[in-house]
Amino acid sequence: MLPPIDLERYPLHAPETAAYEALIDRCKAELARDGMFNLEGFMRPDAIAEAVAQAAPRLTPEEAFVHARRHNIYFKQMPELPADHPALQEVETRNLTLCADQCEGSPVDTIYSWQPFADFLARTMDLDALFQMDDPLARFNVMGYPEGWGLNWHFDRSHFTTTLLLQAPLEGGEFVYRSDLRCDDDPNFDGVAALLRGDDPEVKTLTPAAGTLNVFKGKNTAHRVAPVVGNVPRIIAVLGYYDRPGVAFSKEELLGFYGRAS
């Protein structure tokens, strides 16, 4: 079964075609230039509406996990830094999270599980292959941000992060990012400190439309979601792929991100 993707604009089902190769070239060029690429209208409007209709009523404190905590940009302790280092400034994150096991059979699940989608992502990143997570909770998540809530500054654990915006808020909820703030050889703690105090001229803001696929280098790109303004929540799916099979979160990570380990 084909997934609810606009395959006329984005022919992921036809990797042997010139149009597919042109799409790969475009995505690679944007990744090299901007650290990300965006495919507007990637998800079909009917599928967006279905996904929102399924998720929105469940994005409540009663059914979704309320991820509310203070944290540093690393989401972990950093013993190599003194406790008062400005790169360890605490920030606050608040969102509602539905795990993959709460969204089985949804349009997001269909896209995530479709192997040609993972193959396409691997091609854009010059990887031999990408694999779905071996984790029934963390494979993909659907996150909601009501008024005043946002995801604060952090780095991702994976090299690339893949998201599908399902619903944009009336105001706020922008994706704010700073590409390549650090690298594997240089943690750039002084640069992180400058970012946290609002003193980094390289920070950029993105306001995508619903249905946009966004792929960005999240491991070394600091990013956040600005607080939402108004009574329309921001709803976004985050899809987890890795360059090796069998990846799963630890029990501690599952409890921290979802409040449960199974």
Return d(Cα 218, Cα 179) in angstroms, integer: 8
Percent of the chain past pLDDT 90, that is, above it, reads: 91
| Nearest Cα to Cα of residue 213 among 113, 121, 93 | 121
Is residue 154 a contact partner of residue 75, using CB atoms and an 8 Å limit? yes
Beta strands in 52-108 (DSSP E): 65-71, 91-98
Q: Please give the torsion angle defined by the CA atoms of residues 152, 158, 161 and 167, in that order, rounded to the nearest 10 degrees.
A: -50
Instruction: Give the pLDDT band of residue 17 (cuts 50, 70, 90).
Output: very high
Instruction: Give the pLDDT band of residue 60 (cuts 50, 70, 90).
Output: very high
Instruction: Give the pLDDT band of residue 205 (cuts 50, 70, 90).
Output: very high
pLDDT for 256 equals: 86
**Which domains does the chain possess?**
18-258 (2.60.120.620)
pLDDT for 159 equals: 80
154-164 residue pLDDT tens: 998 778 899 99
Mean pLDDT of 30-42: 94
Alpha helices in the chain (DSSP H): 18-34, 45-55, 107-113, 115-124, 189-196, 251-258
